[in-house]
């Protein structure tokens, strides 16, 4: 009995149980069942507290940004600097977003790698160039996440279903873990409904669909998603959210 008093002091009146057992009013089997239920409930409570601690520890807000069609002009499988064309106003817009306290995180499907059109090394080179161009304008891109797979048209190791490829939320969830992102204070901007779906699945609160990239019909856009012209309008709307 001393063991249970030391380990579960506030879960149940152990003194009363002990005396009821000694007087024959409660069976040993009943005591064991009670102990098991209490321990099980304690474990669930501890697990819930741990999860709440993790969530409450996510203190940063982010703007998740698709690349092609949002940052640069939509072209077929951009992998060279000479083919990379920044959309007008992108630099200024993301600088305003950064001033508002948002981390800038790029999330991009890169099916061109899966199809064999260019390599991961090619993607890393153009990514570092892009980040350098932003840096020249005073914009720090916090991180860039990409998925190089395609479930149908991929080749070799790249032909598979991926939990990171949009519309799956994996890249966003990786960023949440890596940068302690609070999704309820964050936003996502894309040019395709698959971008929006990834944000919705991850739990991003503010979702924006831009007209600068892939064409879409307004009636197809889910309720709650804000349709905007470009990143400049996103920056203005985020300012009003503040």
Helix (H, G, I), strand (E, B) or coil at 61: strand
Cβ-based neighbours of 78, under 8 Å, separated by 6 or more = 68, 72, 84, 126
Q: In whole numbers, what is the pLDDT of the chain averaged over residues? A: 86
Is residue 230 flagged as an active site residue? no
The first and second tokens of residue 236, run together, are 């203005």
Most confident of 23-37, 42-56, 195-209: 195-209
Return all residues near 55 (Cβ < 8 A) that are at least 6 apart: none
**Rounded to two decimals, what is the model's pTM?**
0.78
SS3 assignment, position 162: coil
pLDDT in tens, 173-189: 999 999 999 999 999 99
Each residue's pLDDT tens digit, 57-73: 789 999 999 999 999 99
**48 pLDDT above the threshold of 90:** no
pLDDT at 38 over 50: no
Bridge partners of 72, per DSSP, are 68, 86
Contact in structure between 219 and 242 (CB atoms under 8 Å): no
pLDDT at 58: 81
Q: Is pLDDT larger for residue 4 or for residue 118?
A: 118
Average pLDDT over every residue of 108-120: 98
| Least confidently predicted of 24-28, 47-51, 118-122 | 47-51
- Pick the catalytic residue from 68, 147, 191, 195: 68
DSSP state of 148: -
Q: 56 pLDDT exceeds 70?
A: no
Q: Reading across the β-sheet that carries 102-109, which strands appear in turn?
A: 141-147, 102-109, 61-65, 187-190, 206-210, 226-228
State yes or no: is 174 an active-site residue: no
What CA–CA distance (Å, rounded) separates 229 from 211?
Answer: 5
Catalytic residue among 66, 147, 195, 230: 66
* Residues whose CB falls within 8 Å of the CB of residue 117, separated by 6 or more in sequence, listed in order: 77, 79
Per-residue confidence (pLDDT) for residue 217, from 0 to 100: 96
pLDDT value for 27: 59
pLDDT number for residue 55:
53
Q: How far apart are CA 106 and CA 172, in angstroms?
A: 9
Check residues 10 and 73 and name the one with the higher pLDDT: 73
Contact indicator for 163, 170 with CB cutoff of 8 Å? yes
């Amino acid at each position: 009995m001393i063991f249970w008093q030391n380990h579960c002091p506030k879960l149940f009146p152990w003194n009363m149980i002990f005396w009821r057992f000694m007087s024959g009013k409660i069976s040993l089997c009943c005591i064991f069942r009670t102990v098991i239920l209490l321990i099980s409930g304690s474990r669930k409570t501890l697990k819930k507290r741990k999860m709440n601690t993790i969530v409450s520890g996510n203190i940063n807000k982010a703007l998740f940004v698709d690349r092609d069609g949002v940052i640069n002009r939509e072209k077929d499988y951009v992998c060279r600097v000479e083919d990379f064309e920044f959309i007008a106003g992108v630099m200024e817009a993301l600088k305003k977003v950064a001033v508002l306290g948002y981390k800038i995180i790029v999330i991009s499907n890169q099916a061109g790698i899966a199809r064999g059109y260019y390599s991961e090394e090619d993607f890393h080179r153009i990514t570092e160039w892009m980040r350098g161009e932003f840096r020249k304008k005073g914009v720090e891109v916090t991180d860039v996440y990409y998925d190089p797979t395609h479930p149908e048209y991929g080749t070799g190791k790249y032909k598979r279903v991926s939990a990171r490829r949009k519309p799956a939320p994996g890249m966003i969830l990786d960023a949440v873990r890596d940068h302690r992102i609070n999704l309820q204070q964050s936003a996502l901007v894309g040019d395709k409904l698959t971008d929006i779906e990834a944000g919705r699945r991850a739990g991003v609160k503010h979702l924006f669909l831009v007209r600068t990239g892939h064409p879409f019909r307004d009636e197809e856009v889910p309720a709650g998603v804000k349709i905007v012209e470009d990143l400049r309008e996103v920056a203005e709307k985020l300012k009003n959210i503040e």
